[in-house]
Amino acid sequence: MEAIRKQASRLREQVARQQQAVLRQFGAYGDTDVIMNNDAELRQHKKLEKLYISTRAAKHFQRDIVRGIEGCIVIGSKQIEIGTKMSEDSRKYGVQNTCTSGNTLSKAASNFARARAQMEKERGDLLKALGTQVTEPLRAMVMGAPLDDARHLAQRYDRMRQDAEAQAFEVARRQAKVREGNDHPDLASKLEAAEAKLQDLKSNVAVLGKEAASALAAVEDQQQRLTLQRLTAMVEAERAYHQRVLQILDQLEGEMISECQRIEAAPSPRVDNTSAPPSYEDANGVSTSPAQNGSTDNMGYFLGEVMYSYQAESDVELNLSIGDYIVVRKVSNNGWAEGECKGKAGWFPFGYIERRERVLASKVAEVF
């Protein structure tokens, strides 16, 4: 539509130039009052064209912003849905976990669930702000009456200007006939009527041009101010959102790092170095090796999980690795225990393990 309008404008200018050439041929030299395309009118016309193009470009830009934010809201809503599901799953694990080696992960899961829920709430608030503070005002202006009214005025001016140009040509044609010496009375009266109509059209064009220019200038100013304000509001809303999310993440990271440091810095159980593990002869009353001294009666046996590493210092001691499981067979009064792990039997510090009532079958198989 705009291409057709530009083409029509170029054609009108060509016709106007041809009209001037015809008028010069018939002797109407320098009669700028009759010809419509005088300097003042041309300046008015060029001003309206620039305003029309500017307001149209601003309208398209506002519409692009609205469409972009609407797309962000659709995608953001889906992200909120996914993030909320992740938060709920983490919360459930933190509350319902059945881990036998402590509650460190369940605490982390609960903290993560809380932080994720807060972040998704912040995201939801951001999307609402973008919708109410940016999209709605811009959409109202794109679809509002001031812009349409101003554009309609400009279009009416354009049509009236074409009529005035056609009437100017008609006046010039009748003037040429009168100058040819044709004294027919109807020619003079028709020329007067044509000139009167041309003056009315020129006056109306001038008035309507000023009105259209004023209306388009007001719309242009409003477009510029409102669009800049809404862009600023969008940036401020997103900046505030990211700042709040960063605070939530910093808090969550601090909690997790603190927990990791607490675990890593936990002191190993003290073992009385002055007290050596009891000999198998003392513990069992027989002179046999640990592997030969096992009893088939396991009513007093239990499983323990290694919580701290231990390096054996003699042949009768066991090496311990974190996460291993041990069948504990005896516990002495001096803090040592005897058991079997991975096919080997020996003594180890009892404080390095924790008793377990439930263990996966695969873990039990690793003991033997």
Residues 249 and 310 in one domain: no
The total number of structural domains in the chain stands at 2
CATH of the domain at 348: 2.30.30.40
265-296 pLDDT, tens per residue?
A: 655 565 555 456 665 455 454 333 443 333 33
Residues 138 and 213 in one domain: yes
Residue 233: inside a domain: yes
Residues 204 and 333 in one domain: no
Of 219, 238, 265, the residue at which a domain comes to its end is 265
The Cα angle at residue 141 between residues 137 and 143, in degrees rounded to 5:
115
Residues 89 and 164 in one domain: yes
Residues 208 and 114 in one domain: yes
pLDDT, residue 29, reads: 30
Which domain range does residue 311 map to? 302-355
**Burial grade of 205 (CB within 10 A; 0-12, 13-18, 19 or more):** buried
Residue 221: inside a domain: yes
| pLDDT higher than 50, residue 357 | yes
Distances (CA, A) of 242 to 68, 75, 122, 246, 250: 19, 17, 9, 6, 12
User: Cα torsion for 44, 48, 49, 51, to the nearest 10°?
Assistant: 140
146-197 pLDDT, tens per residue?
A: 888 888 888 888 888 888 888 888 888 888 877 776 666 677 788 888 888 8
pLDDT, residue 77, reads: 96
Q: For the chain, how big is the Rg over CA atoms in Å?
A: 46
pLDDT, residue 21, reads: 52
Residue 77: inside a domain: yes
| pLDDT higher than 50, residue 298 | no
Residues 130 and 201 in one domain: yes
Residue 39: inside a domain: yes
pLDDT, residue 274, reads: 45
3-state helix, strand, coil in the chain (%, to 5): 70, 10, 25
Instruction: Give the model's confidence band at 86: pLDDT under 50 very low, under 70 low, under 90 confident, else very high.
Output: very high
Residues 207 and 341 in one domain: no
| pLDDT higher than 90, residue 252 | yes
CB 126 within 8 A of CB 237: yes
pLDDT, residue 364, reads: 53
Residue 289: inside a domain: no
Instruction: Give the model's confidence band at 13: pLDDT under 50 very low, under 70 low, under 90 confident, else very high.
Output: low
Mean pLDDT for the stretch of residues 65-82: 96
Nearest partner of 125 among 258, 238, 292, judged by Cα: 238
Q: What percent of the chain has pLDDT over 90?
A: 34
Residue, of 20 and 118, whose pLDDT is higher: 118
CATH of the domain at 124: 1.20.1270.60
| pLDDT higher than 60, residue 198 | yes
Residues 105 and 241 in one domain: yes
Residues 198 and 328 in one domain: no
Residue 52: inside a domain: yes
Residue 65: inside a domain: yes
